[in-house]
Amino acid sequence: MDVYPELRSGKRTWPISGLEDGPPYPLERLFLFIDTDIDVSGMYGPVPTGEARFIARRFVPLLIGENPHAVQRMWDKMYRAVVYAPKGLAMMALSKVDLALWDLKGKLFDAPVYELLGGPTRPRIRAYASMLGYSVEPERAAQRSKEMVEQGYTAMKWFCRYGPPHGPEGERKNLALIEAVRDAVGPDVDIMFDAWNSWDVPYTQRMAQRAADYRPWWFEEPVMPDMVHQYAELRRTVSTVAIAGGEHAYTRWGAKSLLDAGAVDILQLDPWWGGGLTELVKVCALASAEGIPMIPHHGAIASTHLVASQPLTTCPIQEWILQAGARDNAFLKHKLDPQDGFIELPKVPGLGMEFDEDVIESREEVQL
């Protein structure tokens, strides 16, 4: 949005301190429950209000009376109901329903979801620290990067604040961030950089050339997500850094369009947005057939179950956005909390979605 000067200084909407104990302000969130006639419920959340309304109006009538084990059937019914809008809000809402259905299925079988999906493939998952929300001033980013290494992280991702509208000075500032992070973490830590869809092909090519000495693992979303041919051109012409993308692709068809075009070195669909676990397992199969790693965009506990069900070569690492993760963990009893740079697999049934009653001040059932 920075191409519009009036939008460059938007207000922060998440915490910048107090993260060890959760967000430092009162928090209100919606959670989705899917009940059965045998007193077992699936749960997922937080769910944004717009998605919750969409679920209530479009999907609830399709699901009442269904067999709770028939997740493929229910996914297909919901998809056909929104085939006119297979991206964005509709698919994000469908994804939340799918995740609640998998939580329900795991509880019905008394097993973690990754076991139902074919895992576990490992006892713990390497996590990378995603530094969204932290200062990108080089000195502060360097200090924060050192702290992440001290906490055991062996990989981290920073967010480049500048693009072509900021001219040569912005390019120098991006490079200063990359240099500062590499100098802070040393030669053995993987570093990645997210461009926020804000670069173009020549800009990315220059950044890749100038950053080569600092050995970034990948540049993420260098161009707008629908610019598949530009992604493919970058992948053909840039050899010093991998090109990553796909968080704004939806379903197996969105993934296939990127793979068929040879557009990405790393695929990044999000289980919160791209179709839930039912669909992301299919995306992983497509990626593995092409030899392309699938490293999900955030996804929190949903990504943990997906990654744990897949071979290491298909899903080698999981993103952990420190600030957003702490916020979204706030109401949950079984919190994701990487230790020494790894996420231990949850052992509880379902996705591990259960409220921490000690932190909830009040609740109400909402009819939308």
Active-site residues, by number, are 297
Contacts of residue 56, defined as CB under 8 A and 6 or more positions apart, other chains included, come to: 367, 368
DSSP secondary structure string, 228-271? HHHHHHHHHH--SSEEEE-TT--HHHHHHHHHHTT--SEE---T
Cα first-last separation, the chain: 31
CA nearest 176: which of 194, 162, 197? Answer: 162
What residues form DSSP beta bridges with 158? 193
- Is residue 45 within 8 A of residue 29, CB to CB? The reply is yes
CA atoms within 13 A on the CB side of 291: 1
- Is residue 200 within 8 A of residue 164, CB to CB? The reply is yes
What residues form DSSP beta bridges with 355? 332
Q: How many CB atoms lie within 10 A of CB 74?
A: 22
Cα 170 to Cα 8: distance, rounded to the nearest angstrom: 14
Contacts of residue 163, defined as CB under 8 A and 6 or more positions apart, other chains included, come to: 2, 3, 170, 195, 196, 198, 199, 203
Token pair 């939580």 is found at 103
CA nearest 99: which of 287, 305, 363, 255? Answer: 305
